[in-house]
Amino acid sequence: MSPPFSSGIYVSRGVALLLAGLTAVLLLALVVLAALYGSCAHVQSSELDSHLVKDTSLSPPGGQEWTQPTPAHESTVGTSQDWRPPSGPWDHLRLPPWLVPLHYDLELWPRLQPDNLSTPSLTFTGRVNITVRCTVATSTLLLHSFFLNYKQVEVWGPLAPDTRNATVGRVPLENVWFALDMQYVVLDLGQSLDPGSSYELNFDFSGQVLQEGSEGLFLNLYTDEDQLRALIATQMEPTFARHVFPCFDEPALKATFNITIIHHPGYVALSNMPQLGQSHRIDVNGSRWTVTSFHTTPRMPTYLVALVICDFDYVSRTERGKEIRVWARKDDIADGYLDFAANHTGPVFSFLEDLFNISYPLPKTDIIALPTFVNGAMENWGLMIFDASLLLELDDDLPEKRAMILSILSHEVGHQWFGNLVTMSWWNNIWLNEGFASYFEVGLTNYFYPKVPRNMIFFLTVLHDILEDDHSLESRAVSTPVENFTETREINRLFDIYTYKKGACMAWMLAGFLSQHLFINALKSYLETFSYSNAEQDDLWRHIQMAIDEQSIIHLPATVKRIMDSWTHQSGFPVITLNASTGVVKQEPFYLERVENQTLLSHNSTWIVPIFWMKNGITQPLVWLDKSSMIFPGMKLSDSDSDWVILNFNVTGYYRVNYDKLGWKKLNQQLEKDPKAIPVINRLQLVSDAFALSKNNYIEIETALDLTKYIAKEDEILVWFEVLVNLINREVVYDVKNYYLYPLLKKYFLKRLNSIWTIYSAIIRENMASLQDNFLSLLPLKKFFETACWLGLEDCLQLSRELFRKWMAHPETAIPPQIEKVVLCNAIALGSNKDWDFLFNLYINKTEEQEDLFHLVHAMGCSKDPRTLNRFMEYDITVFPSRFNETNLIEVVAESEVGRYVAKDFLINNWVAVYERYGPQSLNTLVSILGRTVSTDQQVMELQQFLSTVLEEHQRIVAHAKLQEMKAENLKNKKRIARVVEWLRKNT
d(CA 115, CA 984): 70
Query: Is the pLDDT score of 965 beyond 90?
Result: no
Q: Point out the catalytic residue in the list 154, 250, 379, 412.
A: 412
Query: Is the pLDDT score of 553 beyond 50?
Result: yes
For residue 324, give the H/E element and its range: strand 322-328
What is residue 39's predicted lDDT score, i.e. its pLDDT?
37
What is residue 163's predicted lDDT score, i.e. its pLDDT?
54
What is residue 741's predicted lDDT score, i.e. its pLDDT?
87
**For residue 646, what are the contacts with CB-CB under 8 A and spacing of at least 6?**
613, 614, 657, 667, 678, 682, 686
Residue 562: HSE in the Cβ half-sphere, 13 Å Cα cutoff: 6
Q: What percent of the chain has a predicted confidence (pLDDT) above 70?
A: 87
DSSP 837-850: HHHHHHHHH--S-H
**For residue 803, what are the contacts with CB-CB under 8 A and spacing of at least 6?**
815, 816, 823, 827
Average pLDDT over residues 368-373: 97
Distances (CA, A) of 482 to 454, 492, 503, 599, 810: 34, 11, 16, 27, 59
Cβ atoms 525, 547 nearer than 8 A? yes
Mean pLDDT of the chain: 87
Query: Is the pLDDT score of 706 beyond 80?
Result: yes
Residue 366, strand partner residues = 325, 383
What is residue 305's predicted lDDT score, i.e. its pLDDT?
98
Average pLDDT over residues 245-256: 98
On whether 434 is known to bind a ligand per the annotation, the reply is yes
Cβ atoms 859, 828 nearer than 8 A? yes
- 734 pLDDT tier (thresholds 50, 70, 90): low
Most confident of 31-40, 278-287, 731-740: 278-287
What is residue 828's predicted lDDT score, i.e. its pLDDT?
95
DSSP 61-110: P----EE--BTTB---SSS-TT--PPSSGGGSSSPPTTEEEEEEEEEEEE
As a residue count, the chain comes to 988
* Least confident residue range of 73-82, 393-402, 456-465, 772-781: 73-82
What is residue 51's predicted lDDT score, i.e. its pLDDT?
28
Amino acid letter, residue 686? L
Q: Is 412 a catalytic residue?
A: yes
b/e map 244-263, b = 16+ CB within 10 Å: bbbbbbbbbbbbbbbbbbbb
Query: Is the pLDDT score of 788 beyond 50?
Result: yes
What is residue 123's predicted lDDT score, i.e. its pLDDT?
95
d(CA 575, CA 584): 14
For residue 519, give the H/E element and its range: helix 516-529
On whether 411 is known to bind a ligand per the annotation, the reply is yes
What is residue 773's predicted lDDT score, i.e. its pLDDT?
82
Closest CA to 96 of 171, 186, 6: 186
**CA-derived radius of gyration, the chain:** 32
What is residue 55's predicted lDDT score, i.e. its pLDDT?
34
**More confident of the two residues 125 and 71:** 125
d(CA 853, CA 890): 15
Query: Is the pLDDT score of 10 beyond 60?
Result: no
Distances (CA, A) of 211 to 118, 208, 578: 11, 9, 57
* Least confident residue range of 34-48, 211-225, 676-690: 34-48
Query: Is the pLDDT score of 963 beyond 80?
Result: yes
What is residue 752's predicted lDDT score, i.e. its pLDDT?
94
Helix (H, G, I), strand (E, B) or coil at 296: coil
pLDDT tens for each residue of 585-618: 999 999 987 766 555 444 457 999 999 999 999 9
Average pLDDT over residues 537-545: 98
Query: Is the pLDDT score of 395 beyond 70?
Result: yes
pLDDT tens for each residue of 744-778: 999 999 999 999 999 999 999 988 888 888 889 88
Residue 189, strand partner residues = 173
What is residue 759's predicted lDDT score, i.e. its pLDDT?
93
Query: Is the pLDDT score of 326 beyond 90?
Result: yes
pLDDT tens for each residue of 266-301: 999 999 999 999 999 999 999 999 999 999 999 999
What is residue 881's predicted lDDT score, i.e. its pLDDT?
57
What is residue 48's predicted lDDT score, i.e. its pLDDT?
31
**More confident of the two residues 954 and 584:** 584
Most confident of 42-56, 235-249, 386-400, 747-761: 235-249
Average pLDDT over residues 193-214: 95
What is residue 884's predicted lDDT score, i.e. its pLDDT?
53
d(CA 207, CA 122): 9
Any idea what DSSP says for residue 615?
Answer: E
Query: Is the pLDDT score of 27 beyond 50?
Result: no
Closest CA to 103 of 316, 259, 293, 337: 259
What is residue 166's predicted lDDT score, i.e. its pLDDT?
53
On whether 849 is known to bind a ligand per the annotation, the reply is no
Cα-Cα end-to-end distance for the chain: 58
Most confident of 66-70, 342-346, 738-742: 342-346
d(CA 365, CA 345): 10
* Least confident residue range of 9-18, 435-444, 929-938: 9-18
d(CA 597, CA 486): 36
Cβ atoms 214, 235 nearer than 8 A? yes
Query: Is the pLDDT score of 35 beyond 90?
Result: no
* Least confident residue range of 655-669, 675-689, 912-926: 912-926
Amino acid letter, residue 135? T
Query: Is the pLDDT score of 625 beyond 60?
Result: yes
- 924 pLDDT tier (thresholds 50, 70, 90): confident
- 84 pLDDT tier (thresholds 50, 70, 90): low
Average pLDDT over residues 427-450: 96
- 262 pLDDT tier (thresholds 50, 70, 90): very high
What is residue 30's predicted lDDT score, i.e. its pLDDT?
35
Average pLDDT over residues 717-721: 96
Q: What percent of the chain has a predicted confidence (pLDDT) above 90?
A: 70
* Least confident residue range of 137-146, 587-596, 877-886, 958-967: 877-886
**More confident of the two residues 852 and 439:** 439
- 7 pLDDT tier (thresholds 50, 70, 90): very low
Query: Is the pLDDT score of 352 beyond 90?
Result: yes
What is residue 672's predicted lDDT score, i.e. its pLDDT?
96
Average pLDDT over residues 430-448: 96
Query: Is the pLDDT score of 57 beyond 70?
Result: no
Closest CA to 940 of 964, 915, 919: 964
What is residue 31's predicted lDDT score, i.e. its pLDDT?
33
d(CA 338, CA 391): 5
Any idea what DSSP says for residue 6?
Answer: P
Any idea what DSSP says for residue 502?
Answer: I
pLDDT tens for each residue of 152-199: 999 999 998 765 555 579 999 999 999 999 999 999 999 999 999 999
Query: Is the pLDDT score of 380 beyond 90?
Result: yes
What is residue 482's predicted lDDT score, i.e. its pLDDT?
79
d(CA 432, CA 541): 11
Distances (CA, A) of 463 to 439, 456, 554, 578, 648: 11, 10, 25, 22, 13
